[in-house]
Structure 1
Amino acid sequence: MRRPLPFRRWCNPQLLTRAASTKATKPPIVRIKDATFYRQYPQPGSSPEEEKKNPPLFPELSFSIPSFSSEPQHWSIIGPSSSGKTTFLEILRGQHLSFPPTARSYPYLASDEIASKDLRLRFPGRALQHVGFAGESGGLAGTGTRGAYLSARYESRREETDFSLLDFLKGHTELNPSEDGKETAEESAFLQNVIRDLRLESLVDMPVANLSNGQMRRARIARALLGKPEVLLLDEPLMGLDPPTLTTLSPLLHRLAEDHNPRLVLALRPQDPIPDWITHLCYLGPDCTIEHQGPKETVLSKLKSAATSGKTKTHILTLSEVGRTLTSTGIIEPGSSATSAPSAGTGDMNCTTGAPSFASRGEALIEMEGVKVSYGDKQILGTWEQDVNGEKKKGLWWTIRRGERWGIFGPNGSGKTTILSLISSDHPQTYSLPIRLFGRSRLPQPGKPGISIFDIQSRMGQSSPEIHAFFPKSLTVRQTLENAWSDTFLSKPQLNHERDLDVDAALRWFASELNPSLSPSSSSSSSYSSSSPSTKSRARAGAPTTRARKSATSASPAQYYGEDDDLDWADSLLFGQIPFSAQRVALFLRAVIKHPDLVILDEAFSGMDDYVRDKCLLFLEHGQTMTFDSSSSSSSSSSSSRTTASTIYPTRSIVPTSLPKSQIRLKGLRPDQALVCISHVREEIPSVVREWMCLPEPNEGKSLRLGRLTGPLGRDVQRWTQIWGM
């Protein structure tokens, strides 16, 4: 028998240090040294146009992921939209061409330790798993199945392709799955642990198509973990998660990272809070470049200094929210030592709870009287009792009236999107539930016909992840906005000259956000003419077309266009060709441009950079009448504008637009319009929201909470946490 080491030997500090150094000297999982990457093989002597189509990615990149280290090293890749976060993660997995080829290697994957663990982990594509969330729609993304229409996710299981969450986690999503035999006890235990850690126990029998966006995110992380990768690359995992889920997910990810099981790399937006266990940051600049990388505090200090001095390649306004910290108890703002949760006993005089009261009540647009939604024996909406005129009644009792601005909140899976599907009539149960849409039910009543789906959709505008997932990628940017006047995604819109001018005005106002080839400075929202019609609208009005104008030597170009008034890009650029953030902007404009009776914005601003998001929010309220002051000094703005900006947009000043009144076509929400907004991020709530509803977690015995704000939600942390009941 081998004798144990004497106490003095196995506790010898020199031996412990030597053991730690041995662990620290294990080769990294990924090692990149002075490498430049390309999507396609660069051809010598290529023309500038060809080089523009195949630009270098992250020139002379040096980066590594340690297999083990004596000091924790947990990385997050941060960058605004279109900076290349997903491309960076793909490069780590071995995608894209490396020059020189030997500049990217995977030393640890070639070690004997990996060989004894699982030979399949020798391949980077298996050892490093990428989980992306951009553009997903509930359970319809990444499942191997595809819905054919918006209401598919709300219908009961009818087909063999309607897999349960448990099937999805086990990978049984083929029409004819192979028989791999029974899983071992160890595999079964590991599966149950992952399901428990990600709080999926109550969802395992639910069809994947019925999962909410937040639930599907947890499910996709769980499925990746079941593959037991060495590294998990999470692409924007925090976007769209409610505050309670954020605070519970971060400690779970921390445990995984600490145990190296697996190691984690998180890609985040600048406005996302950075988990407190992240130790290193890599901040991306525009066009797949790196501005800073290293320890978190060092990088944040450099970003703060760059933002103050203006010496940064990144658009300066994308740095206004970077540096918030996510802890297990809440979010800590930069420069603050307290979390976002209010102290015990703190009240908010600007937020009242209970049934909202209204000084003047407009026409009822949507009426729900005791709505309850169930899938089989599982009730997911209306599980509570509600005080209705002093009487307790079961189900959801709710009315949306003209002029009201509603915010709907609640945990992932609480039924927020289901409520909106009832309003838009995408949910099949709308026919059988006590719901009136614009004064009529879906089914005929004595002396009154039922309202058709086309009548409903003509009176509302909607932007949501579901619409984003199903929206045709083959439409041009202009056609995307014109689709607001269509009965379906692919039907011909009912246009006229005035509507063409509205589309032109919106395209010009958001040209730099919609056209990736334009820089923010190449198209100023407050400087160009918004009354000059485009080729299409001029043709409809009988004005000269582009070809006719070029042949008319007596006509000045500015007479028809203005100096920077070329919108040809909107007629040739496809929706599927523009970045994710630009797609979100286009769908937002599609929802508001026709001035519908009801505007529905379901996580409409997620995926946008903070400046783009704020510009959309300002446009929603004021249209073309107000803009952000782009000058270095905000002294030109009025006192009231500065006060509003400091409350809602703390880093920006709001000033009246320089456009003449005669050229302003879009003026924001009208007094007779209603708004319903869903978001889990307080900065994405429009400042006009006053009425709010917070749904409880289903089947937990909690009640629906209603309230009214007496002022903009803005950046008020205490008011936000009171709404959530945190």
Structure 2
Amino acid sequence: MRVPPPPFVKRLTSPPVINIKSGATFFRRHPSSLPPPNQHAHLQPPKNDNPPLFKGISFQVPSHLSQSPQQNESSWVVVGPSRSGKTTFLQMLRGELHCSPISARTWPWLTQHNLTPQTAIKYVGFYGKGISEVTTSAYLSARYESLREDTDFSLKEHLLGQTQFNLGHIPGEHVISQHLFDKVVEDLSLVELLDTPVAFLSNGQSRRAAIAKALMAEPEVLLLDEPFVGLDPGASRALSVMLKTLAERASPRVVISCRPQDPLPGWIKRVVYLEGAGEMAIAGQLGIEGAEDAFVKEAGGGSQVDIITEADEGALGEPLVEMNGCKVRYGNKIALGNWDGGLHWTVRRGQRWGVFGPNGSGKTTIVALLCSDHPQTYSLPIKLFGRNRMPEPGSGERPLTFWDIQSRIGHSSPEIHKHMPRGLNVQQVLESAWADTFKGVPKLDEDAKQKVKATLRWFEKELNPRYSKDKDGPRDDVAWAQDYLFGGLSFSAQRVLLFLRAIIKHPDIVVLDEAFSGMDEYVRDKCMLFLACGEEKAYAADRTVVEHPAPEKIKVKGLGEDQALICISHVKEEVPDCVKEWLCLPEPNMGLPARFGQLGKPLRTDEDTWMHTIWGLNRRN
């Protein structure tokens, strides 16, 4: 239960909630302990697998409110590129790393009120465990089936902790009041989803649900790891407004992490910038003279270079996807196409589509229909590659099988990320693009093997945890890719690997569903350049684009005119420049039709089209 704040007069002298004294250093385990057993005995152990983190840090989260909102220190943002340690920093605040000296990190205010960091400080991460802990589906299409299992708990049951078969109150357990429950689900726009099984929630809805679950515990400090990634612009604004209210009341105190390219909410007053490998470059206050300049200088300002590979209009080929009035129903609920006539949409070879819409509008359902993961693909008016899933009786036409479709579509999405076996190594994940299943035996010819090796060399810096900075440029040896498991990579590296898996075999259709989320801008831009040009072009050190010095050695080429691209994103900078057509789905259950349009220039440089035309929003934060 939240401890009522003391009178304002006393707040000015109350001890901090989190207090890290100058000179503190952190380690993943005790610095004198032995390293864990090496499962790869043939490898040389790293020189230092337990390096010091955040050396010399000094950090405080006060328990009181400042007299001036501009000086309020109860809201912090931790910013840094991929693999810089943002998640580790948040976990350190709640005691998950070893501190040296041990007395340098304390929680004075919590101790004073007989609270522990584990109960009073709640961490909400979206890249590992979370709401998915109660999602029991073992395969991609399970979420779309009409029959529910006993373990398909509703969102309401999840939020109230009613996910056990033997329900009953445990003495001393936190009790959620009806007033708190009603307020949290209202603030996070979850009221209409309370009876929905958590397995059916979209990626953005799952994020809001995870935050709601943490708020039900009435924490003193709320740690949110990149909370705005995966939310549509409207949902991001609503969440920001709610977090601002919490931060202004210091109820709870809020610490969030962001990528360098993410806009910082205006209510954030304090910032920590991480350079990389657990090194803190800046910790200070935003809104004071010179702070923003220093932040921008440290954060860098990498920008995507205009690389547009668009198909000639006359070269557009035959239809690859034809939806002629699709409506996806679950009983009385229509999840997609809830308007007159349903969804009519055609995707042809050579086209580059962006698919947008609010969380829960049906974007993931469209991906499931395309990739044949959705059971209703058999009964809906859909053609893939010019064929129906079930041919007309007596036509003599062979049915279009799941394996036929999977072999011609490259797909990266949060759902693929969730179900990718963590025990596969880096090379196996990439090679699974040629397999029937994630763990199936890939059918690799010599050309495919060369593509795998070339791609691993090109992205060694992003995928190899032991990449050495003193060896610039890709190397020939890719043996490292067999030594690291998918589950042991950073979230950014996992996303890069799944993106590469989706494009490497040059499929007829490339589906990128939030494929770039979790990457910093430099990694994202490198992936986008690879999507457009393959090995033909690369970024130089000064961020200019240079040609491959040996064109005859190129094994992987960029997106071709014989391919179609479908990109789903909530962030305009994560939409490739080549996208020229767009589809925007309406708010669910509004009865409004889907909207279509064309782009005259890259979305990342066209704020008006993105916010006004596509989303129907103004620019106010």
Question: TM-score normalised to the size of structure 1?
Answer: 0.77
1:381 to 316, 327, 336: 336
Provide the rounded CA distance (Å) in 2 between the counterparts of 1:22 and 1:471.
Answer: 52
1:30-179 alignment runs, 5 A limit: 30-33=18-21, 34-43=23-32, 49=45, 52-70=48-66, 71=68, 72-73=72-73, 74-111=75-112, 114=113, 122-135=115-128, 141-179=131-169
Provide the rounded CA distance (Å) in 1 between the counterparts of 2:136 and 2:303.
Answer: 36
Contact 2:134–2:198, Cα closer than 8 Å, also in 1: no
SS at match of 2:54: strand
Distance 1:364 1:303, change over 3 A: same
Question: RMSD of the TM alignment (CA)?
Answer: 2.4
What is the CA distance between 1:449 and its match in structure 2? Answer: 2.5
SS at match of 2:48: helix
Equivalent residue letter for 1:163 = F
What is the CA distance between 1:725 and its match in structure 2? Answer: 2.2
Equivalent residue letter for 1:715 = T
2:294 to 294, 302, 305: 302
Contact 1:271–1:321, Cα closer than 8 Å, also in 2: no
Distance 1:630 1:401, change over 3 A: same
Matched, 1:284 2:274: yes
Other-structure match for 2:371: 424
Equivalent residue letter for 2:125 = G
Provide the rounded CA distance (Å) in 1 between the counterparts of 2:192 and 2:482.
Answer: 48
Q: Which has the larger radius of gyration?
A: 1
Matched, 1:662 2:552: yes
What is the CA distance between 1:302 and its match in structure 2? Answer: 1.4
Contact 1:135–1:468, Cα closer than 8 Å, also in 2: no
Equivalent residue letter for 1:195 = V
What is the CA distance between 1:212 and its match in structure 2? Answer: 0.6
Other-structure match for 2:500: 589
Distance 1:692 1:588, change over 3 A: same
Question: 1:482-537, CA deviations, whole angstroms, 9 ceiling, x for partnerless residues?
Answer: 1110000001000111111111111111111111222566342xxx5xxxxxxxxx
Question: TM-score normalised to the size of structure 2?
Answer: 0.90
Other-structure match for 1:25: 13
What is the CA distance between 1:141 and its match in structure 2? Answer: 4.2
Other-structure match for 1:257: 247
1:704 to 583, 594, 609: 594
Other-structure match for 1:645: none
Equivalent residue letter for 1:300 = E
Other-structure match for 1:647: none
1:487 to 413, 436, 440: 436
What is the CA distance between 1:701 and its match in structure 2? Answer: 2.7
1:193-592 alignment runs, 5 A limit: 193-297=183-287, 298-306=290-298, 316=300, 319-320=301-302, 361-385=316-340, 394-446=341-393, 447=395, 448-519=397-468, 522-524=471-473, 564-592=475-503
Question: 1:637-672, CA deviations, whole angstroms, 9 ceiling, x for partnerless residues?
Answer: xxxxxxxxxxxxxxx4323222x2211121201111
Provide the rounded CA distance (Å) in 2 between the counterparts of 1:131 and 1:53.
Answer: 26
What is the CA distance between 1:567 and its match in structure 2? Answer: 1.2
Provide the rounded CA distance (Å) in 1 between the counterparts of 2:488 and 2:175.
Answer: 47
Distance 1:98 1:494, change over 3 A: same
Question: 1:394-451, CA deviations, whole angstroms, 9 ceiling, x for partnerless residues?
Answer: 1001111111111100001100010010111111111111111112222232312221
Question: 1:252-278, CA deviations, whole angstroms, 9 ceiling, x for partnerless residues?
Answer: 111011112211111111111111000
SS at match of 1:627: strand
Identity %: 50
Contact 2:240–2:265, Cα closer than 8 Å, also in 1: yes
1:714 to 592, 601, 604: 604
Distance 1:521 1:304, change over 3 A: farther
Distance 1:376 1:521, change over 3 A: farther
Provide the rounded CA distance (Å) in 1 between the counterparts of 2:586 and 2:33.
Answer: 61
SS at match of 1:433: coil
What is the CA distance between 1:320 and its match in structure 2? Answer: 3.4
SS at match of 1:257: helix
1:630 to 541, 544, 548: 541
Provide the rounded CA distance (Å) in 1 between the counterparts of 2:526 and 2:35.
Answer: 39
Number of residue pairs aligned between Structure 1 and Structure 2: 585
Distance 1:186 1:662, change over 3 A: closer
Provide the rounded CA distance (Å) in 1 between the counterparts of 2:602 and 2:317.
Answer: 21
Provide the rounded CA distance (Å) in 2 between the counterparts of 1:290 and 1:22.
Answer: 32
Provide the rounded CA distance (Å) in 2 between the counterparts of 1:57 and 1:517.
Answer: 17
Contact 1:85–1:267, Cα closer than 8 Å, also in 2: yes
Provide the rounded CA distance (Å) in 2 between the counterparts of 1:672 and 1:186.
Answer: 56
What is the CA distance between 1:178 and its match in structure 2? Answer: 2.8
What is the CA distance between 1:571 and its match in structure 2? Answer: 2.1
What is the CA distance between 1:359 and its match in structure 2? Answer: 5.2
**Unaligned stretches of 5+ residues in structure 1:** 1-18, 308-315, 323-356, 386-393, 529-563, 632-651
Equivalent residue letter for 1:81 = S
SS at match of 1:52: coil
Provide the rounded CA distance (Å) in 2 between the counterparts of 1:655 and 1:453.
Answer: 40
Contact 1:575–1:583, Cα closer than 8 Å, also in 2: yes
Equivalent residue letter for 2:514 = E
SS at match of 2:376: helix
Moved more, 144-153 or 514-523: 514-523
Moved more, 68-77 or 210-219: 68-77
SS at match of 2:168: coil
Other-structure match for 2:525: 614
Provide the rounded CA distance (Å) in 2 between the counterparts of 1:378 and 1:618.
Answer: 41
What is the CA distance between 1:98 and its match in structure 2? Answer: 1.5
Equivalent residue letter for 1:79 = G
Moved more, 715-724 or 214-223: 715-724
SS at match of 2:538: strand
Equivalent residue letter for 2:119 = R
